[in-house]
Structure 1
Amino acid sequence: MDEHAAQPPHLTPARRAVLGEAAAAQAEELMAENVSVVALTFVDTAGIVRVKAVPVERLGQAAALGVGASPCFDAFLQDDSAVPARFTGGAIGDLRLHPVPERLTPLPALPGWAWAPADRYGQDGAPHPVDGRAALRRETDRLAAEGWSVRAAFEVEWTTAPEFAGPAYGMTRLIDAAAYLRDVVQGLAAAGIAADQVHPEYSPSQFEVSVAAEDPVGAADTTILVRQVIRAVSREHGVAASFAPRTGAEVGNGGHVHLSLWRADEGGPVSVMSGGTGPCGLTPEGEAFTAGILARLPALLALGAPSVVSYLRLVPSHWAGAFACWGLENREAALRLITGPAGTGTAADTEAANVEVKCFDATANPYLALAGLLAAGRAGLAAGAVLPAPVTTDPALLDAAERDRLGVAALPASLDEAVAAFEADPVLAEALGEPLADTVAAVRRGESALFAGASPEQIIEAARGRF
């Protein structure tokens, strides 16, 4: 592993003091806003958001010294059972959760509460080697050292029970859910998140909200916060929100990821996703980055579609991206290239282009999912990778011979297949490091064993209330 893959530095006394002072000052502001408690969250390997909370008066101490938390959660499955893992889990040892001051956010949707993501460190101040947020920060830094940055965003899709009536994308459903969706948008705004758009989705009582792109770590933090706001607002309206890939007999909830690559420049970062001479206007670097992701999609599913229920959503002709291919505005391709508007006379003409990863869902730990995508894109850049021809139709409609000619293959149809591809991929293993990669594989195999022999209905029911 090169120097840019090294873990973030230890928490020194000086760094602890800086964190503590910043958090203590924020605590004073929070108390003035009648905030009493701060929820500190991290996401485990199975994609469950775990939490420890501290009284606001203890926030400065928590930032400097951390809050104790067992390492057992890294080996937890979605049902809170655990698997043996070589590098983490079990009853022995302790970690420290350190709130991230710059993301500390009051939660008006949960009166009296604030939220912050937490970085996890050992008792000695060393970063926890199985911490997903640290892995994503590491990959972001590696790209930065090579002169690149990435902007990312997650789409958030969810379903509610009881249901709101009305057809897919229908104004009837929006009217039925108007007060609810208004409060979702207002709750997000109160938490500092501007929704780009919100609308009824395809399935019964399904909705989607989109937010602006930001740096990868920020994007992962934001999607966690968005989901918690939606959950809180939903409860106030007497409905339960689920982000699980399938919640019934319908097109499921995705967790689509949007990515764009930017080159460092004296005048500021410049997008390389448009204005080039490559396919669909990609520059050579934008093409290489995208091709690197495409080449590793089967292995990346172990990070981005990491649950057994994921593969009940990931089926052909359901806009889930079940085939490893790409295409311009092709919603059946696993990678959809979006060029954005043209001729507007605004920055959107050159800056809106991005690639959408459609085969991921919200059972993913978003930090791990993005870390894998960045590592794959970086490998594509290093290799000068090129894309195959774009697919211009639903790949499921092509016969086998035509798919072979175009180099289009079906993505793994089960979690076991995805784990096998992940374990065989050296780029992802190197990027995550042995402790994290080994733990991911152990948890995925545990999830497969947990649901061995279960019916689709049983798998859906088990996931509905967990994600």
Structure 2
Amino acid sequence: MTTLADPVPGGRPGDVERATALSAELTGRGVHGIVLAYVDTAGIGRVKTIPTAKLASAAAWGVGMSPVFDTFLANDSIVSTDVLGSPDGDLRLYPDLDHLAVLSGQPGWAWAPVDRVTQEGERHSGCGRTLLRRIVADAAERHGISFKAGVEIEWAVGEGSAPGDDFAPAVSGPAYGAARQVELSDCTAELLAALAAQGVDVDQLHPEYAAGQFEISVGALDPVAAADRSVLVRQTIRAVSQRHGLRVSFAPAVFAEGVGNGGHVHLSAWREGRSLHSGGEGRYGMTAEAESFAAGLLAHLPALTAVTAPSPASYLRLKPSQWAGVFTAWGRETRESAVRVITGTAGRRAQAANLEVKPVDLAANPYLALSCLIAAGLDGLESSAALPDEITGDPARFGAEEAATRGVRRLPTSLDEAVEEFRKDELLRAALGPVLADAVIAVRLGEIAAVAGLDDGQVAAAYRWKY
């Protein structure tokens, strides 16, 4: 479980002693450096690294990092708000020792997620990890509810020898095909071994639909740990693939046409060890609270896309009839619905039932995405929102009148539209707080300006290797 207490200057009780012992242990295992990792507002993983011997110092006093990265774009340009984006100030990166992992795919290195704290020892209002921890703690205190979450990871595997920024699929076999699995057998076997060594519980790994595409699903954890794991798994995939002469892309759209890379989120709410999504009297065994939680997600989905699909390239992926979930609809095991109710197989439903949110990709900061999804669901739960009728099949078949009658709405078709929906959603902006909400808007507008005048193919190329 994730530690819910914020870091403090000097270290939380026991942190320094623990870090000192870990440092000695890591050194004995041949670990020379530690990656301190977080994700910025644009969804880019940012890091600083320290020698292993400095872990105790980092646990006590953090490591310096400018707050300007909260308003970096994917191309490393900088935008600003009234609070963020200047060259002034400094933050401290505090590693979470509970989630430190020795990187099997990067010999000589360990990895740890960080919380960002001000020089005065206070929460940094732009830190998504700290925000998510607070939202989870508040839900436990106010509602007695905890959560389990998991992030699916899809990626495209390219030949490392392809010229320039071109993408040449490293495998040629068909989607879900045995041939594709064989073609990448050595790399994926090493990947599974590396993840197991790092304590990552893998549920499945398989070839996916798009050219060179694979998907990995990992076990559910508390939301902060699930977001951490999403970052760690991508770090490991990239490192192992590079050792095999391959280049990987987690971008929402590697090409302008066809299926893109998703980052679907699985989320379930629990009280006193019992899932709210099973054993109830509602549809498919959902409790009334679970139905209202799903209704909250649906109600806020148009605005949520500014956080869950935050890149101009995201909207090359979010197309009807491609299992991307681009309509405000729900259904049991309906892969075209934005919110898919998963009951699990008979005999496992009490453990397996959850909601899958599909209009999410890996350009999203996973801490911000989970924060907003939980806030939206809790808004529905608190208001006892009514879950509309289930939609089966493809919602794209409905004409405008029938869609309106059924409450089925097309999600934003561009990042511009998503930003406008986000501006209007007071609940989500309040959940993030004014500093982060303004940063989200500024960064999204910056990304829009960065690709102004580009066609779809050029937009895909601009983000192909950013994620």
TM over 0.5: yes
Q: Which of 263, 278, 296 is 1:292 aligned to?
A: 296
What does residue 324 of structure 1 align with? 328
**What's the CA shift string for 1:407-428, capped at 9, x where partnerless?**
1000000111111111111111
CA displacement 1:328-348 (0-9 Å, x = unmatched): 111011111111001x3xxx2
Shift of 1:17: 5.8
In 2, Cα distance between the equivalents of 1:97 and 1:239? 31
Partner of 1:403: 403
Partner deviation per Cα, 1:161-187 (whole Å, 9 max, x = no partner)? 122120010001111111111111111
Q: Which range moved further: 278-287 or 202-211? A: 278-287
- In 2, Cα distance between equivalents of 1:230 and 1:10: 29
Residue identity in the other structure for 1:100 = D
Partner of 1:447: 447
| 1:274-353 equivalences in 2 (<5 Å) | 274-342=278-346, 344=347, 348-353=348-353
Is this contact kept in 2: 1:159–1:205, CA < 8 A? yes
Which secondary structure does the structure 2 equivalent of 1:323 belong to? coil
Give how far 1:386 is off: 1.4
Does 1:53 pair with 2:49?
yes
Task: Name 1:121's counterpart in structure 2.
Answer: 117
| CA deviation profile, 1:96-141 (whole Å, cap 9, x unmatched) | 1011110110001100000000110011111100000011011101
Contact 2:103 2:110 in 1 (8 A): yes
Residue 156 of structure 2, aligned match among 156, 159, 171: 159
Partner of 1:209: 216
Alignment of 1:364-403 (within 5 A): 364-403=364-403
Q: CA deviation at 1:19?
A: 2.3
Amino acid at match of 2:70: D
Percent identity reads 50
Q: TM-score, normalised by structure 1?
A: 0.95
Q: Is the 8 A contact 1:323 1:410 kept in 2?
A: yes
Counterpart residue identity of residue 153, structure 1:
G
Q: Does 1:93 align with 2:53?
A: no
Residue in 2 that maps onto 1:4: none
1:86 and 1:439 in contact (8 A); partners too: no
Shift of 1:8: 6.3
Query: What displacement does 1:18 show?
Result: 3.0
What letter matches 1:289 in structure 2?
Answer: F
Distance 2:450 2:5 in 1: 35
Matched, 1:11 2:19: no
Which of 87, 100, 105 aligns to 1:104? It is 100
Q: In 2, Cα distance between the equivalents of 1:416 and 1:315?
A: 16
Offset of residue 245 of structure 1: 0.6
Aligned with residue 168 of structure 1, among 170, 175, 195: 175
Q: 1:445 to 1:402 in 2, by over 3 A?
A: same
Q: C-alpha distance in 1, partners of 2:304/2:18?
A: 37
* Number of the residue aligned with 2:166: none
User: Is residue 425 from structure 1 mapped to residue 425 from structure 2 by the alignment?
Assistant: yes
- Match for 2:240: what amino acid? V
Q: 1:427 to 1:108 in 2, by over 3 A?
A: same
Rounded to whole Å, the distance in 1 between the matches of 2:23 and 2:243 is: 26
For the pair 1:223 / 2:230, whether they are aligned, the reply is yes
Unaligned runs of 5+ in 2: 160-169
Give the conservation status (yes or no) of the 8 Å contact 1:38–1:53: yes
**Aligned-residue offset at 1:250:** 2.4
Query: CA–CA distance in 2 between the matches of 1:399 and 1:89?
Result: 45
Question: How far, CA to CA, are the matches of 1:349 and 1:419 in structure 2?
Answer: 37
3-state SS in 2 of match to 1:160: strand
Mapped to 1, the partners of 2:83 and 2:288 lie a distance apart of 40
How many Å apart are 1:324 and its aligned residue? 1.1
Q: Is the 8 A contact 2:92 2:116 kept in 1?
A: yes
User: 3-state SS of the aligned residue for 1:423?
Assistant: helix
Q: Matched residues in 2 for 1:80 and 1:209: separation? A: 29
Displacement after TM superposition at 1:435 (Å): 0.7
Q: Which whole-Å CA distance do the structure 1 matches of 2:194 and 2:5 have between them? A: 33
User: Do residues 150 (structure 1) and 154 (structure 2) align?
Assistant: no
TM-score, normalised with respect to structure 2: 0.95
User: Which residue, out of 120, 127, 131, partners 1:131?
Assistant: 127
Letter in 2 for 1:263: R
* 1:393, distance to aligned residue in structure 2 (A): 1.1
Question: Could you tell me how far apart the structure 2 residues matched to 1:108 and 1:219 are?
Answer: 19
Change (3 A) 1:62 1:12: closer
Is the 8 Å Cα contact of residues 8 and 138 (structure 1) preserved in structure 2?
Answer: no
Match of 2:123, SS state, is: coil
Q: 1:272 aligns with which of 272, 276, 283?
A: 276
Deviation per residue, 1:4-27 (Å, 9 max, x gap)? xxx9657254x4563222211111
- CA deviation string 1:382-417 (max 9, x = no partner): 100111101001001122222111110000001111
Q: What is the match of residue 39 of structure 2? A: 43
**Residues 8 and 127, structure 1, Cα contact 8 Å, conserved in 2:** no
The letter for the 2-side match of 1:63 is A
What's the secondary structure of 1:82's corresponding residue? coil
What is the identity, as a one-letter code, of the residue corresponding to 1:448? I
Mapped to 2, the partners of 1:222 and 1:96 lie a distance apart of 22
* Root-mean-square deviation over aligned CA pairs: 1.2
CA contact (8 A) 2:7 2:115 kept: no
**Partner residue of 2:240 out of 233, 247, 252:** 233
- State yes or no: 1:20 paired with 2:16: yes
CA-to-partner distance for each residue in 1:247-305, whole Å, 9 max, x for gaps?
023200000000011112xxxx1001022221222110110111111110011111100
Counterpart code for 2:214? F
Q: Secondary structure at 1:186's aligned position in 2?
A: helix
Partner of 1:76: 72
Q: Which amino acid aligns with 1:177?
A: L
- Give the number of equivalent residue pairs: 452
Are the counterparts in 1 of residues 104 and 195 from structure 2 also a CA contact under 8 Å? no
Give SS of 1:324's match.
Answer: coil
